[in-house]
Amino acid sequence: MALLFSGYVETLFDILAILQIAAGLYLLWQGIQWLIYVRRRLNTDPGFYAPRTAVLCPCRGVEPGLERNLVSLTEFNHQNYEIFFALASESDPAYSIVKRVASSSRIKATILIAGKPQNCSEKVNNLRSAIEQLPPEFEVLVFVDSDGRPGKSWLHHMVAPLSDSRIGATTTMRWFIPNSNGPATSLLAAWNAGVVSMLGPHLNNFCWGGGTAIRRPIFEQIGMMDIWQHAFSDDYSLTLTLEQARRPVVFLPECLTPSFVQTDFPGLLEFTNRQVSITRVYRPKMWATAFATHALYCITILLGIFLALSLTIDSRPAFQVTSLLFFPLLLAAIRGAIRVIGVTEAMPAFRAQIMGQSWIYILVTLLVPFLYLVNFVSSLFGRKITWRGIQYELVSQQETRILTR
């Protein structure tokens, strides 16, 4: 009976492992296509389109490197822009730093106080308030986060493609660079790395709130101010609205934004659980597909390890099982290496630092599906999330409740 059961388990593992290898080969092909796209974009001349641009940066709380991050927003070589920092109140711990950066900025920087949110997230409320107060001469809106540190040419590269009036928005993505090699920080950097290669030369791109540019007429035409009035997520709601308007989102790898991070395990789980919970509300089909994909990967790896150990203990040949177990891991590691190559080419100023920590993006990545599985299971139980000390309940895409401030 035990041998019969073992035979069934081995057959199940063989089937699952072959499926994982097939999926891994397909994802590897996609990774190569992504790298080709990155290199093509890096060799593309951005052009001369430089309209009057408003850079909108919502802020809440103090994080490591905040002042240097905000200073980088004042150093763009795009001449025709102004910065608008938006906070809920002057009592916010970030206010003194924002005020210091704004007063020393070489370009005009304005601080706007939005007040407390009522039916949306504080970030969305800050953005809505800032846009309501914008002078009419600004033609392009660029959304940034306070935890990113973009380079001097970043803004020009973000805005220039909008000369094509068919484009709905341009976007990019953060790349986490760990300030330490602690396990929680390394896992966070590896978890985020996979998101970067989800964007590419296709029509399924999504806006990232830390780096998105959109023409103001399009923003107004699709009615984002009304949609944001009850939204939690600025970027997911913008993505969905652009999709409904049949406006494509273009990914710009040349604008990848470094973000220096350090966290502990509670912080890791808070961040990753929040992102997946938001995805469940705004992208339920993507959430379900990703849940199934990561669950099958984890089951395959755990089953393979169990079988390999059982066969070894019973002094039976385990070569076939270990080979099938090894190949999905190898393919995932190769995809991680391709990702590192593309990112270091897109962010040459940080090449040495990223290469010095490349083991995080190549090897620690193999553990990321297990973290994702924890995130997916967590998202099954309720829709309460915490962002920068405020607890929210995501009732739906159109309804957000503020539970505690």
pLDDT, tens digit, for every residue of 224-245?
999 999 999 999 999 999 999 9
pLDDT at position 6 is: 61
Q: What is the mean pLDDT of residues 317-343?
A: 94
State the chain's mean pLDDT as an integer.
Answer: 94
Token pair of 199 as six digits = 């964007």
Q: What is the mean pLDDT of residues 165-182?
A: 96
Residue 15 pLDDT level (bands cut at 50, 70, 90): very high
Residue 368 pLDDT level (bands cut at 50, 70, 90): very high
pLDDT at position 404 is: 84
> The pTM is what?
0.94
Q: Which residues contact 242 (CB under 8 A, 6 or more apart)?
A: 168, 169, 207, 222, 248, 249
> For the CA atoms of 235, 241, 244, 250, what is the dihedral angle to 10 degrees?
-40
**Cα 170 to Cα 172: distance, rounded to the nearest angstrom:** 7
Token pair of 249 as six digits = 């989102």
Q: What is the mean pLDDT of residues 306-321?
A: 84
Reference 70, options 85, 52, 82; nearest CA is 85
pLDDT at position 4 is: 41
Which residue segments constitute the domains of the chain, with CATH numbers given? 2-36+284-404 (no CATH), 45-264 (3.90.550.10)
Residue 314 pLDDT level (bands cut at 50, 70, 90): confident
| Sign, Cα dihedral of 147, 151, 156, 161 | negative
SS3 for 141? strand
Token pair of 312 as six digits = 């070894």
Q: Which residues contact 380 (CB under 8 A, 6 or more apart)?
A: none
Q: What is the mean pLDDT of residues 89-93?
A: 95
Q: Does residue 166 have a pLDDT over 70?
A: yes
Q: What is the mean pLDDT of residues 101-107?
A: 96
Token pair of 261 as six digits = 């991070």
